[in-house]
Structure 1
Amino acid sequence: MTKRITSQPRTVKVTRYVSPLREGGSMPAIAEADDDFLYVLKFRGAGQGVKALIAELIGGEIARLLGFKIPEIVFAELDEAFGRTEPDEEIQDLLKASTGLNLGLHYLSGSITYDPVVNTVDSLLASQIVWLDLLLVNMDRTARNTNMLYWHKELWLIDHGAALYFHHSWNNWEEMAKKPFKLISDHVLLPLAAELDQVDEDFQAVLTPEAIENIVALIPEEWLCYDTPFEHPETHRDAYVSFLKTRLLNFENIIKDAQHAREILI
């Protein structure tokens, strides 16, 4: 995998609502922007609010830095008048609640969902993906919902909105940063992940404290002002940095627990 440099996402303006994607509870949609590209749009007014957008941004950009194939992430401006002509009342309410800055991922037209029965992933790539999801406490890479696509014969990772789930309450987050991720036993690739120790050595050399700070710095300040126990947006931002740094410092035990879970499965 090739290391990528983290850069500020582009900002686009949404010009056309194309169609809903009703697979998830957050009601994402395919939308067109003023650059004439299609995006999978994640709305700030959906059930999980800006927390899902923050998880998507942090998770996706960490994955990109580590060399995974990730659709381009953009900030997507939604005008307050955008939803007035939408005939579906539920979608209209969602659009009205999402005025302002949302998040989009480049739409991979023609992609095919990864199927563990049909598709194969080698041990190294499986270990790399499991490592990423251990770090992000991402519960949403299961056989039921793999959140992986094949596009142009390459495996792409999508949808990290369910990662970092502790931030929906921030209860005991400092302790959670140190603890194993028990839900990793449900990970679709865990049985194949035989090279976690080597991946840990490789990835920790790339995901430095400075790199973590740079990625978390991408979060728009306005997203850090909603539904937060922190008094200041920068304190909120610092908590994400602290969680990720602390987790990496405790990753030896986290990996051992995942390896034990794998042994039980195989």
Structure 2
Amino acid sequence: MLNEVIATRYVTPLREGGSLPGIVEADDLGTYVMKFTGAGQGRKTLVAEVICGQLGRRLGLRVPELVTMQLDPVIGLGEPDQEVQELLKASGGLNLGMDFLPGSLGFDPLAYEVGSAEAGRIVWFDALVNNVDRSWRNPNMLVWHGDLWLIDHGATMIWHHNWPGAAASAGKAYDASDHVLASFRPDIAAAAADLAPQVTEELLTGIAAEVPDEWLVDEPGFDSSDAVRRAYVAALLPRAATVAERITFAAPAAPRSSGAPGWLTDRRGGEGR
């Protein structure tokens, strides 16, 4: 299960994110990027973060550690920004924290070389969870200590917004033409051969069990939180076996800048000056 910590201080908002996540300190002396139940996207964003983030970690991809965070709304009383204050007041209780990577930089495909094997694993994973938010416009990847880290999986598994159509939606192809790693010749076949067999019912069931009950209760069409968990497993398990065959690239892609904060690397991925 995810470790649970208590938020002790709200540091600053991250305004690049549409849901207004914030940097928060916790009682374990850690610093986290906190995502709030009171944000406009609601609790399903947090569910997606847990399932996809933990699945990525189990498959060997670099995803920052996730924790659940208890938030006392009183923390928001001293915030001068009215929008932040209202968000904190609306998010009392259990929220989600992602380990903050100090000094990390936004991934730019024109500044950092990615091998075809790593690109293939990331594209295959994004296809599995139907991630629509890893384009060159908004890569949602960071470079930290020379390695790629995957963040922000709230816009994945779009089928969980319409459970009656989940089976059909989860079976659709994945258009990777706009994927930020499309230009790095992702080796999808090798990724599928390695990763697909690892996505078992046991693995998915264990990951779904890490989602807190309170983020799953009262889901329309389900009589229990465990029933919702089984629905996630039922959507992801068959997709893992065949999704590699349904990843499409409309045309050979040329790398385009993501507009990430300015930094330089040589084309081997090492930091330059």
The aligned counterpart of 1:136 is 129
1:196 and 2:188 correspond: yes
1:205 and 2:197 correspond: yes
- Per-residue deviation, 1:262: 5.6
TM-score with structure 2 setting the length = 0.88
1:218 and 2:210 correspond: yes
Secondary structure of 1:156's counterpart equals strand
* Alignment equivalent of 1:91, drawn from 84, 92, 113: 84
* Alignment equivalent of 2:245, drawn from 251, 256, 259: 256
CA distance in 1, matches of 2:17, 2:73: 24
CA distance in 2, matches of 1:201, 1:71: 25
TM-score with structure 1 setting the length = 0.90
Whether contact under 8 Å (2:123, 2:186) holds in the other structure is no
CA distance in 1, matches of 2:245, 2:226: 33
Q: Deviations over 1:46-67 (max 9, x none)?
A: 0111111011111111110111
Deviates more, 1:214-223 or 1:88-97: 88-97
Q: Deviations over 1:94-142 (max 9, x none)?
A: 1111111100011100011110111110000000000000001001111
Q: Is there any run of 5+ residues in structure 1 with no aligned partner, and where? A: 1-7
Secondary structure of 2:163's counterpart equals coil
Secondary structure of 2:73's counterpart equals coil
- Per-residue deviation, 1:264: 4.9
* Alignment equivalent of 1:118, drawn from 98, 105, 111: 111
- Identity of paired residues, percent? 45
The aligned counterpart of 1:47 is 40
The aligned counterpart of 1:4 is none
Q: Deviations over 1:59-109 (max 9, x none)?
A: 111110111111110000001322222222211111111111100011100
Give 2:49's aligned amino acid: E
Whether contact under 8 Å (1:143, 1:187) holds in the other structure is yes
- Per-residue deviation, 1:263: 5.0
Q: Alpha carbon RMSD of aligned pairs, Å?
A: 1.6
The aligned counterpart of 2:158 is 165
Secondary structure of 1:83's counterpart equals helix
Q: Is there any run of 5+ residues in structure 2 with no aligned partner, and where? A: 255-273
Secondary structure of 1:244's counterpart equals helix
Which structure's residues are more often helix, by fraction?
1
CA distance in 2, matches of 1:171, 1:126: 33
